[in-house]
Each structure stands twice: as structure tokens, then as C-alpha cells.
Structure 1
Amino acid sequence: MDEGKGKQSLQNIISSIEGLNFKILENITELVFLLDSETFEILFANHSVEKLSGFSISEILGKNKYETFSKNFLELYTENAKNFIAAKDDFARSEEYIRSKNNEVKLLYTKKYKVSSTASSDSYILEIASDFTDNHQNYPNLLSAKSPFFKLFHSSSIATAIINFSNLKIIDFNQAFINSFGYKEDELKDASFLEYDFLGANIDEFEKNLEKISKAQKEEQREFSIKNKNGEKINCYVSIEHFAAKNDTPLLIFTAQSTNDAGQTENEKESMNLIFRSRLISMLSHEFRTPLTTIMLSSDMLKNYGTQWDEEKKLVYFKKISDTVLHLNQLIEKLLTISSIESGQFEFHPESLDVPAFFQSIVENITFTMNSKHQVKFKYSGNYSCASVDENLLSLIVSNLITNAIKYSQENEEVSFDSYCDGVCLTIQIKDRGIGIPAEGLNNLFHTFYRASNVGKRFGFGLGLAIVKKCVEAHRGEIFVNSETGIGTTFTVIVPVKHDRPQECK
């Protein structure tokens, strides 16, 4: 930043940001940054930034945030920030590593907002971040010998280690890890992950490899050569997953599988699914915690400035609050559904239903709540007079498939929704002209928490299609998918509507 602007110029910028009270932001427990949207220079930082990073405010003002705090991730974080500015959405979330003044690595879970100046056309990035590297709590129940994860973890034939992210010490490891790399238990327990150069012999190299893994889209891009105790090199496909488990304890789960291995057993797949589930639970905990900040900020703006604003401006903040509450409700609904699936309480209650009218109402609700510019073209034919279905399960099937079709299509693209009933079977076909699903991902498509490699920055947890599959199975029906990358995807669902003759729908 040009020094001639000085503190007064910075103050003018801060005071011109529409609808934000920086006196409140200055003292909240979350870390707050205001960045220039072109240079990513720090224009404002609150006391929590100073406390966590060890830098004084005067040391970081006017500096590029990513170069100052995340030099090894500079390229990745700069690219992410540019993509955020170019995107139509004015909100995003991310996990970011930073390094403090005394060289400690911290992990931040960050919410990003686009904000603008009332005095000019300039735009800025407001970041509100939570620190997830505090490790004052005991290790979570995940590591209890009675937990299902513990049993799967230690029985897996994939080399796996659990690492304390705060200090990169090895907390636990399985027998496959010992067998793969030749170290004894007492050599590994509480040892530094850097000591044996599993993913870098120093913090800089480790961070660069973390970046490489985070950007990898294909398995071969995660291939590393790791030395065992005897100095022999083993080519491995490596994965590292971060999650904040119970009490926000920051852990890394490191897995390494030899490139010569011929795939995973069912037990190993279950172990990896549990790892992904743990990461999902961590992300969901973030999702429940941080929207409260959005609600707090919006309500504070209304409280302090509501009497000075016209109705249109107030509606902007009311909408932020209502949208956030809606988002939380959707998360709760998906969690409850997944919970029912996992606990075996997914009951099937078929009843007579006006199916075409029901489908039409689902289409209208989705296009309204998603504020979608896509046209969902619904057509139906056949005989629905004796159709008996489970309204709740059928709603989950159709709403998840249509929502996905919209999410993974370009703006203004048409989504086709066709329904046909012959009095015995109901056939539903939902077709989009979106990004498509890579061929290698089709076998895993209905697995809980799975997401295809080409979804990019589109938000999701990989829950929707797993729910759809369970609902179809509860109906004793079948689901088929036909997809081509860059062309689009068609899902076909066939379920019986006369439940004494389900075999006729096979």
C-alpha cells in the first residue's frame, strides 16, 4: 500500500464500508481481516489477529495477507481469492493454514464476504476466521479402544497414522503402518512426523506437500516416494485429511497405500468411509457454529442503523438472517436423515397420493428456495389413479436429484423431469446438461460422503445421492445413472406403486 495514504486514508476506507460496525468487529473473539480485493493487502485486522499471530497490527497493515501469513500456500490462496472475487456469490468458506510470528502453524476456518464502499465503487473482502489449532483438551473418543473407528483403523491393511496437527507428533498408527515402513512401535509413538520424512523433513516441505495433496484431482497426483527404515523407497498414494474432532482437537489422518497394491478390501473401504465421515462431522460443526456470526452481524447492523435505512436496505439484512436460518435447517434435515439411515430406522409407509400434483409442488418449491434461473421442465403421463408411495421418501428422491441437476448445470440450462406410471410401476427420469460424472466415479456415486473429482468449488457433502439410494431401496425399486463428462447426467428411478407386485418393476 502507498505510504502516502497513511492511517487517515485507511480510516476513511474502513468508515465507508457499507453496513459494518468495525468497533464491534475489533473486539470479537474471531479473527477479522479486511482485504483489498485486488492486491489482498490488509486494511484492517482486529485484536484477535494480533493475539494469535504475534504480529502487531502496525506490522501487518498494508501487507499482502497470504504472503505475510501463508507464504508456502501463496499461489493456492491467491488463486482461491481471485476466484471468489470473480464469482457471483458474495460468500464463501475455506480452511487456511497460517504461520505465526514465532513460526507456529495454525489452522483457520474462514468465512469470506464481499463488501463495498459507499463512497466509491471499490470492493473489499471481509474475512471472519476461527482458530482450530488450540489443543488444550484431551484427545477425543475417536481414539478410544471401544470406538468403531479404533477397531477399523487398527484392522485396516492400509498404512494409517493419526497426527496431532498442533505439533505434528504421531499419536497413533496401525500395524500396516509398522509393516510398510519397518519402524518399531516405540520408535513411532510420540515421534515427530517430520523426523522420519514421511511427507517432508521440515515444516516448509511438509506444507508444500499438503498444498500438492489439496490441489490434486487424480490419484497419480498424490503419489509420493517414502523411505522405509532401511532407506528403501516405496511409491505410495498418499492422503491427508484434517478434521477438528470432539472438543475441536485438531488431528490429521495420514494414509499411504503402495502403488503396487491391487485395491482395497471391503473392511478397508469401511475404514476410509469412517475417516471421511469424521471429516464431514468436523465440517458440519463449523457450519453450525459460524452462521451465528452472520446472524449476529446482520442483527447488529439492523439494531444500530435500521432507523436510518429505507425498507429495501433493511430487507437485505433480513434476507441474510432468513437465508442463514434456512441453511441451518437444511443441514439439520440431512443430518437427521443420515442418522435414520445409519441406525436402521428408515421406515417405509406407502399411502395413496396425487403424484403429478406432488411432483409439481416439489419443482415449484425448489425453484423458489434456490432462487434458480434454471427452468425445470416437468412432464407426466400414464395412470396414477392407484399409485401408493411413501410421500416423505419420494420427496427426498426427487428433491435431491433436481437440486443436484441444478447445482451441477450452467446457469439458465434446462433440467428435464419426466414421470410415467402404468399403474404398477412409477418411472422418474431427471436429466441435466451439466458437468457430468467421470466414469471412474460412477461406482462410488451412491456411497455416503462421496463427491466426484470434477465438482470444483460447488458446495456439498456427498449426502444427497446416498439418501436417494436408500429411499429407492426402501421402495424396493431401482436407480440407474447414465452420464458423460461435459455433456450431462440422467438419473432413472423405477419404484413399484402396487406393493404386492414389486417384482414387475425389476
Structure 2
Amino acid sequence: MIFSFFLLFYLYKLKIELFKKNFIELLENHETSITSSKEFNQSLRLFQEKLESLKLLSKQNSKLLELFDISNDYFEDGIIFLDNKGIIQRFNRKIITFFDKEYFEIDSYKKITDLTSNIDFIDFFEKSKTKKINTINIQTNFPQKNFHLRSINLDEIIVVFIKDISDIISLDKTRREFFANTSHEIKTPVTSIKLNVQALKNSLKSDNKDDFLYFLEKIDLDADRLQKITEDIGQLHSLESGSIKLSPEELRIDEFMSGFLLNFETLLSSKRMKIKISKNNFKKIKIDSNLFFTLLENIISNSIRYSKEDSNIEIDMKKNKSLFSISIKDEGVGVSQIDLPHIFERFYRGDGLRSDQHNGLGLAIVKHIVDLHKGTIEASSEINEGLKIMINFPQ
């Protein structure tokens, strides 16, 4: 649509220029004296017809220029018009944004080198002078962005379309990383199950009951791990795709927390750990109870997994008229300052002590749940001093 409009615009412009050239030639051919009134009338009529045609074309050209100016702010793509010498004739506002320039300096941008010093851009524009159609993808570093460029050479005018494809490239990279990480996560327990099944067969042949029970338990643990991975992937996909709809309700926080903690009694007692809860004087919060349960389940599970025995997990809750705040702090191995900014990214594994025994999806799910509630989440930590996660939910 945009391309068709500008192609039409410059075809009209070229038509006018060609008409002007022919009209001048016509005048030059009639510099000789006119010998009769009939010849004079014929020449006058011809001139009038040419003038009317020129006026019509000029009017159409003016309307297209006016349409371009009105529509300038609405084009998603950057558009530059250059003459066949590479001098900029016109460009839209998006070009200013793409090249991080100031709009008040617009009159000073005459050449492509006035807009950018990027060698790839300059080389593309140079080659577009001799090619009818030219396309390329270019990556810039400061800031890091990806652009798709396409030029159409109309002899007198070169039209260049510039599209920011950074989001598309990023999405494709995320998709490829997701499949690679998912494959890796699933492959690990599947390989372990296959090895343990073989060991199980060997224990049957040797009639070793202890080995049989040992390998059977390992297979059961790997199956549980595989199930958790598939459940987490499914839930993360549902959150990212928007198929999970928020259903906030009035939740009695004391009753909810009592029921929630029952799910962790066995796991806590196995490591002689305790969860301590403190809160100010409030009874209800407005939240999606199912998603809030999932959020706490992922955070508390991580805290237990990475905490030493005989340690505590502290949950602090506060509420005012507009905000419900909850923080969860453990006494575990902690997270390094290098890894800390990335802990809410899916499949992220740092190099520290928390890098094993998890699939890297739990805190990514937590982050999406917070985002769905239009809340905020942040974390603080030091190695061997535990991890603290702080979340705010608007009320």
C-alpha cells in the first residue's frame, strides 16, 4: 500500500518533468516567426492545451505531496527519496527516529552520510544508484537494532524503504532458544530413565532386590522431573500466549496461607526447616487465587531446594489501600550479582551453586503471573546469604 502510493507519487513527478522538457522543446521549435493568423491560432491552442495538462499534473502532484505530509506521522516504515546523484530529496519522520536525529535539524540532512556513518547503510545507498531493485538486512550495534532495506530505482528518483525488524529477529532468536532449551531439558531425564531401565533389567537377571528397588526409585524421580518440565512449559506457554485469563477475587489471606503451607509440611520437615510469616493488620487481598498459589509454590520450592538444613524462610506481607506487598527471603546459597538480573528469564542457568537441579522455568512463570496482575517484582541476593524476592500487587 505504502509502496504503491509513493511509486504513483514519483511517477507523476517524473511525468511532470518529462512534460516540462517537451514543452520547452515545443517553445524552442516555435521561435520562428508565425506567418498567418491560422498558424498563430493553432500554436496558441496547442500551448493552451499543454498548459492545462501541466496545471492538472501539477495539481495532482500537489495533492500527493499534501497527502504525504498529512500521513507523515503514520508510516511504520522509514522512507527516503534521493535523486540519481544520491542527494536526499525528502524523507518521513520515521527516518529521524531510526537514525536518532533531531527533527529541528531536518534541513541539514542532504546526504545519507548526514544521517548515518554506518558503512553498510552507505554501501547500500551507493549500490542502489545502479540497481533497479536492491534489498539487504543490516544490524547496527549502538544501539543494537536490525533493519530491512529495500530500494526502487526509478531512474530520476530512488525510493528507499527502511523497516525496523529488531522485534522479529528477537522473537525468532527466542523461539530457537526455547526449542533448543526444551529439547535439552527433556533429553536429560529421558536419557537417565533409559539408563536406569537397563540397570533395572540387569538387577532382575542377578536377582538383586536392593538394586532393583534403587533403580526403580530413580526412574520414578526422573519421571516426576519430566512431568514437572512438561507442566511448566505448558503453563509458561499459556501465560505468554494470553490464554490464561486473570480472575481476581477477595481472598482471606490467613486461611489461604494455612492451606498453602500444608503442601510443604513433609518437604520442610525432611530438612528441619521452618516458614515464618509476618504481616500487618489486614484480612483480605484482591488477587487470582490459583495463580497466587502457583507463584508462591514456585518461589517456596526454590527456597527449600537451595537452603541448608535447620534454616528459615521468612514471608513478610503488608497491605494499604492501593498495594499488597509480599517478600520471601531464604537462607540459601544465594545468587551472584552477575546472575541476579537474569533469574526471571526462562531456562536461565547461572554458573553459581543454584545452577543445577532445576529447569529454569519456575521464576519465569512467577514473573509472568506478576505481570498479568500489573504488579512489580525484584530480587536481591549475595552468595551464601540467601535470596529475597519482593513483589507488589495493585489493589
TM-score scaled by structure 1? 0.40
Q: Which has the larger radius of gyration?
A: 2
Which has more helix, going by share of residues? 2
TM-score scaled by structure 2? 0.50
Which has more strand, going by share of residues? 1
